[in-house]
Amino acid sequence: KMEGRVRKKPVIKHKIVLLGDIAVGKTSIFQRFIDKDMSKDHNPTIGCCYNFINIEEKEYTKRIELWDTAGQERFHSLAALYYKNAQAALVVYDVTSKSSLTQAQRWIDELNEKANPNILIILAGNKIDLPEQRSISEEQGKTFADEYGLLFKEVSALKNINIKELFNEIVDRLPTKEMLDKQKSGEGSAAGSHGGTSLGDVQESKDEGC
């Protein structure tokens, strides 16, 4: 059969987990990344929502798997199931809520203690479209991130500000080349650093539901 002669490109899967307090906007960021549109009204995430996009490269397909976790305290213990084996964790706080940054710090400490030691951790301050309600300055967020050695970006899921730039920065640092080399040598996946793709090259997304 002709299709049997077509060499399928390897698929390199990258798992990114979203963590943060309830109502900081994790699901809105998730929706913006996957669908470009977002619903202003949605119920709190129960457990976890999953979706992915494929980015087509010449030699391989890069699959970005995004896991949106629940922010309620009663679901906190479940999060370890989702950040296990993740290549990246996006920890989100609300720039209008100081307590959400305290919760973000809890997540970062937990990731440093329990997650993959090579995990890429990114701190994102959401809701910069509410300047009159802001209680955490960009400088404070950046200083906090620098203390932990994290990537940092302020965004607005509502106004779609810096969402693409945020994920471009994450995707560019994912260990795609290392994972491809491991896959070719039959060693499975590994974590490292640097990929190098713009999300402008995204070819498709799949809705796997919640």
| Spatial separation of the C-alpha atoms in residues 179 and 188, rounded to whole Å | 7
Specify the higher pLDDT residue, 49 or 115.
Answer: 115
Name all contacts of 98-103 with Cβ < 8 Å and 24+ positions apart: 98/135, 98/136, 99/21, 100/20, 100/21, 100/24, 101/136, 101/141, 101/144, 103/20, 103/21
Domain boundaries, the chain: 9-186
Q: Strands 48-56 and 61-69, how do they pair?
A: antiparallel
Give the number of other CB atoms < 10 A from CB of residue 130. 14
Domain 9-186 -> CATH class: alpha beta
17-37 pLDDT per residue, tens? 999 999 999 999 999 988 755
Q: What H or E segment, with its residue span, contains residue 53?
A: strand 48-56
36-89 pLDDT per residue, tens? 554 454 444 445 688 899 999 888 999 999 998 875 555 566 778 889 899 999
129-182 pLDDT per residue, tens? 999 999 999 999 999 999 999 999 999 999 999 999 999 999 999 988 888 888
